[in-house]
Every structure is written in C-alpha cells, then in structure tokens.
Chains A and B, each alone.
Chain A
C-alpha cells in the first residue's frame, strides 16, 4: 500500500505544475523506496525501463526533415494548398483525416499518421489555412482551438482504429494477459469487439467537428 505514495507524488506534482520530468523521476523513486525496495535496485529499474523504451523517442528522427522543409515554407504551402478548395471547412478536413487515420490504423498502419510526421507539418497548417481563407488571419484563441483539434483527431483516430487490427500490440497484449489468467481467446474475436466502439467514436467526434465549424463561423462572423 505504501507504494501508492509514488502515485500521490506524481498527481500532486503535476497538479502543482512542477516540471513533469522531475515529478515523474521523483515519483518513481518514491514509489520504489516506499515499497521497501533497495535504492540501488530502484535506480536500476528506472534505468532499465528508460533504456528499453528508447524506440519511443526514435520518432524525433523526423525533425531535421520537418525543420528543414518548414524553413523552406512547407507550412505556407500546406495553407495555400487548401485555400483554393472552397467546399472545405476545418471540420470537414479534420473529419476526413479522422476517417483516414482510423481506417489505416485498423489495417495496422499506425505509422502513416502521427503528431510529428503529419499533424505539425501538414494537418494543423492546412486546418489553419482553411480558417484563414474563410475569415482572415486568426486570433491566438482560434489558432489554439484549431491546432488542438488537429492533434486530437490524430489521437482519437489512432486509439479507436488500432484495436481492430489483429496483429498489433494491443490485441496481442489483451490475449497474453488473459492467457496469464488461464483464459484462452482468439485475437480475431478481441479485434471484432472493438468495432462498435470505433464506429461510436467516429460518429461522436465527427458530430463535434460539425459543431466546431459552427463555433468558428460564429466567431469569424462576429469580427
């Protein structure tokens, strides 16, 4: 039970807006020490976990390319590419990306999207470009809202798409954990039961994106 002190440190530290990197490291050390584990063993576990998770940070490899192309005007190009499409709205653009992301993840192609590879260089500037071609340059609040929505569709599409693919991490993890409790399931059935939620998530979020268009139109017209 004492190990929950580590959770407490993390929650309080984040709520109090301390630097997250420091909070998480202290939280890990506190959880281990409070559970009565030898301090050296705690530091070892932290180090092993960090080293084993390096694949997470390989995504930063794409930054030199993104940064270079941005200096060459990539984001302006993305804006210009959508400015000519009169029928496009921010909501429709993002709904299209949401559908693409969900479908490609359902086919196991998680890496076709992503915050660094697609959202920052293409999707977010395109969404801003659509808004600008309708209502002119935006204030900070509108920019924040549109960018946050661009990030959100990438996450929501990935989360409620990937569980439909049989051979991907989450379905295999579900199967492995169930097997540890001596319960056998077919991965295909696990994947199948993710489909209703995927459809609901799409409908709910697409409806919210229609609403987003209304909010943007109201704000844009009021100016």
Chain B
C-alpha cells in the first residue's frame, strides 16, 4: 500500500537538495544557516518517524533557534541576461500553463480514482492519505512535463525552488509548528482555562448572550489558536453543548455548523493562521496586508452568523 510516507520521502529529497544548493550559494552570506535549516526539515521528512517524539521535539527547537535568531539569509536573485533555455521557453506562450494545470488535474483524478484501486485485495493507496499522495503524484507529472518542454539544466528546478523557499524563509515551518502548538495547548489544558474564563465573564442566563458568547468565543479563540478545529471542541464543551443545546434546546446540527463558520471568520483575521502566513510570504506582501483585506468580510459574515444561529437553531 502506498502511504503518505512516499510523499514525505519526496519532500525530504527536495529539502535535502535545497539544503545542498544553499550551502553552495556563495551569494548568500548566511548560506550555512540556510543549509542547516532546510537540512533539518529534510531530516524531519525522511526520518521523522524514526526520531521519536523527543528527537522531533529537539529538532523543532533547533529549527526555532536557527530560524528565529536571524541565521537565515537569502541569496542574490539570478541577474543579467536570461539563460538560453529561458529565452527558448519564452516562445512557448500559453503552453506554459499546462504543467501548472497538471497538478490540480492529477489531484482531482487521484482523489476520485484512488479509493477504488485494489492490489491483491488491499487498497493500493492508503484511503486516509489520498489527497497528499495525489498531490505528490501531480507534482511529479508536472515536473516531468515542465522539464521536457523547457529542457533546462538538471539543477534548475532545485535552484528555482531554493529561490522561492529563501523568499518564504522560516515562515515555511509555521503552519506545521502551529499544529504542534495546538497539541501542546491541549495537553496543558488551555482550552478548559479559556472555557472557564468565558463562562465566568459572561452572564449566560439569557439565550442571546449565550449565542453571542459561543459565536464570538469561537472567533476569538480561533484567532488565538490560529485554527478553528482547535477552538471548536473547547467552545462546544464550554457553551455549545451544555447551554445552547442543553438548557435552551437548540438544534445541534445548526449549532455545530455555524459555530465552526464563526471560527473561520476568526481564521480570516489572525496572523496565527497558515492561510494568512503563506500568501504573505509567497506574494511578497507586508505583514497584515492579507488580513486587512479579509477582515471586513469576516466581520460582516460573523455578525450574520450570530443572527442565523439565533434564528435557525431555535425554530420550534
């Protein structure tokens, strides 16, 4: 059976190649910092399961120290006249789009087709990891297509990836790190503490107050955690289940659905969310630019959600 580890091995190979390319990049004054940072990520992808929890934890701390204390730099962008393959490629016109579109196309086909594929009675692809494996396959197909079309030097894809990763910098591991933070917060009982705090701070005897505390609490706690999935169990156990469903007899399907959607409004407004961190880095935007554009929509939809909750959950 093909598991997610196949995709992880591929990612590990890519980050190892980026680490080597960084070490060789004399235009970057901090090239050894970059090499160590991407190299450790390669280790995590290639050998993470063998490292054990403590080994992985120390690896995270090392990454935080390298990335957080300014040991990362960026090489100079390739300047001057374009290489001959680039001049050739500029004549390809619209065909350049084809490899890009191969990624979503393969992901789509894989997501639909993989669950049906069987080999000797066993599923060929791990049913829980279909998307990750389909994405990796799509990337491989797209890369072969692009190499065949452009005929660049063999190291060109790695150099191109290094250039982009240097631009993203240490923020590259932030989404993964925030997921780990959620796990530690859960272990430390942060959720219960926040639930208690909201329970004491808000007079929840009135239905509208409980609705507001639940919806706004979801948005706020999501902003702190960077992830609505981490906030939802806390707010449901603290207010949603005992008060909205229990005392006021609300419809749990409505309360669950709209509670999560209130959380998403919080995601749109927080610097803690991967969804806002990645585009800020990839599009070379100043901090907060994406959030500023999203916030007005998020606030209006959040208020609408509160009204919908009050109107739809208690139809009798």
Contact = CB atoms under 8 A, between A and B. Distances in A.
Interface of A: 1, 3-4, 6-7, 10-11, 14, 17-29, 31-32, 34-35, 37, 40-74, 76-78, 81, 108-113, 115-122, 124, 144-145, 147-152, 154-156, 158-160, 163, 169-171, 173-175, 177-178, 180-181, 183, 185-186, 189-194, 196-197, 200-201, 204-205, 208
Given A19-B68, A200-B304, A1 B60 contact: no
B96 A77 contact: yes
A193 B257 contact: yes
Contacts of B160: 63-64, 66-68, 70-71
Interface of B: 4, 7-8, 10-11, 14, 41, 44-45, 48-49, 51-61, 63-65, 67-70, 78, 82, 85-86, 89-90, 92-94, 96-97, 99-100, 103-104, 107-108, 111, 129, 131-132, 134-136, 139, 142-143, 146-147, 150, 152, 156-161, 163-165, 170-185, 187-190, 193-194, 196-197, 224, 228-229, 232-233, 236-237, 241, 245, 252-254, 256-261, 264, 267-268, 271-272, 274-280, 282-287, 289-290, 292-294, 296-297, 300-301, 304-305, 308, 312
A157 B96 CA distance: 26
Would you list the 4 A-B pairs with minimal beta carbon distance, nearest first? A67-B160, A22-B68, A47-B56, A47-B57
Contacts of B58: 43, 47
Contacts of A56: 175-176, 179, 274
B86 A54 contact: no
12 contacts: A6-B184, A17-B287, A19-B170, A44-B54, A55-B132, A58-B4, A58-B8, A62-B142, A63-B161, A118-B104, A183-B252, A197-B258
Contact of A19 (B4, B67, B190, B237): B67
Given A37-B188, A159-B267, A65 B164 contact: no
Nearest to A196: B308
A19 B44 CA distance: 21
A158 B175 CA distance: 17
B267 A47 contact: no
Contacts of B293: 145, 148-149, 151-152
A1 B196 contact: yes
A218 B100 CA distance: 34
A6, A68, A124, most chain B CB atoms within 10 A: A68
A174 B174 contact: no
Contacts of A41: 187
B304 A197 contact: yes
Nearest to B140: A61
A186 B278 CA distance: 34
A58 B53 contact: no
A77 B94 contact: yes
A85 B106 CA distance: 29
A45 B180 CA distance: 8
Given A71-B156, A150-B283, A6 B185 contact: yes
A50 B258 contact: no
Contacts of B131: 110-111
Given A44-B57, A200-B304, A65 B283 contact: no
A133 to B, nearest CB: 17
Nearest to A185: B253
